[in-house]
Structure 1
């Protein structure tokens, strides 16, 4: 699978997620604010992007989807902090959010169970060869990979860590 570059102004790959990207219930500073993201180097033929945030260490079956944004136009190569608000007002025209595994639209900050150990929050940007994902806002993020898999040209990812004591 081809790759390209993804970075965030709020943390480096493998570092602790800042308080703003944590769940509001986790304590001071937790704001459920989506990460500022910037990407570059996607392959020719990219017609749209999808962005996801997934915790593979969450208890239960299959981890926990914190955020999924689809149909980001190919000429967009960044999202500002907070673009994933519940109403998606910071998203580019045409992009939309799926419900997270908490049941609401928008970014749901990191909030692992106390004492569960460190959790990885994998941020992924997919470069797709289609303009529209074919999914709607009611789709489950878990279905996203199967639906988009045949259309992925390249992926970029970085991982933030958070442990709740």
Structure 2
């Protein structure tokens, strides 16, 4: 795998196609998103990585500053922006009740999500999927992007229900105004 990582070293999705850069998800950037497990730009502990590389696939603790008035729902998108594909891989997509206040470790699990958390489909399945970059590919950045929405995502009448929609179809279709947003980046390398 190290050889494959070296061969793909210069191929990375980049930030252009992240949820953060979608025109419909733009908004003020005053929301501070933090974790007690790693700082912004810091290394993610192994327990938050995929089981296939020795981790526990445990979503990290996440906390945020007070939400703007009128926040109806939070949208959390976790993307690997260094995956060697045309677009970032969505590692988790979830809707969160603003009353939750924060997420404890493991709150993004598919089988038993935390209180007020509704996990949706991601590129890799449902729930949180920790980092598992190709060995030798170099550091991968995992962006945790939180959007405070003025109306719930599933209040819009779409052809595909929110729970079944693929991330690349759902994210550009969100019409709820973004009242505020924030992000946190964790790094992992094999």
Q: TM class, shorter-chain normalised? A: 0.7 to 0.9
Q: Name the counterpart of 1:31.
A: 56
Out of 49, 65, 70, the position equivalent to 2:90 is 65
Q: Name the counterpart of 1:117.
A: 138
TM-score scaled by length of structure 1? 0.88
Asked if 2 retains the 8 angstrom alpha-carbon contact of 1:39 and 1:78, the reply is: yes
Q: Distance in 2 between matches of 1:86 and 1:96?
A: 9
- Greater helix share, 1 or 2? 2
Asked if 1 retains the 8 angstrom alpha-carbon contact of 2:33 and 2:146, the reply is: yes
| Corresponding position: 1:83 with 2:110 | no
Q: CA deviation at 1:61?
A: 2.0
Q: CA deviation at 1:69?
A: 0.4
Asked if 1 retains the 8 angstrom alpha-carbon contact of 2:92 and 2:121, the reply is: yes
Q: Distance in 2 between matches of 1:131 and 1:74?
A: 11
Q: Distance in 2 between matches of 1:49 and 1:142?
A: 18
Q: Distance in 1 between matches of 2:113 and 2:119?
A: 11
Tell me, which stretches of 5 or more residues in structure 1 are unaligned? none
Q: Which has the larger radius of gyration?
A: 2
TM-score scaled by length of structure 2? 0.77
- Greater strand share, 1 or 2? 1
RMSD: 1.6
Q: Distance in 1 between matches of 2:167 and 2:60?
A: 18
Q: Distance in 2 between matches of 1:96 and 1:67?
A: 11
| Corresponding position: 1:98 with 2:98 | no
Tell me, which stretches of 5 or more residues in structure 2 are unaligned? 1-26
The count of corresponding residues between Structure 1 and Structure 2 is 158
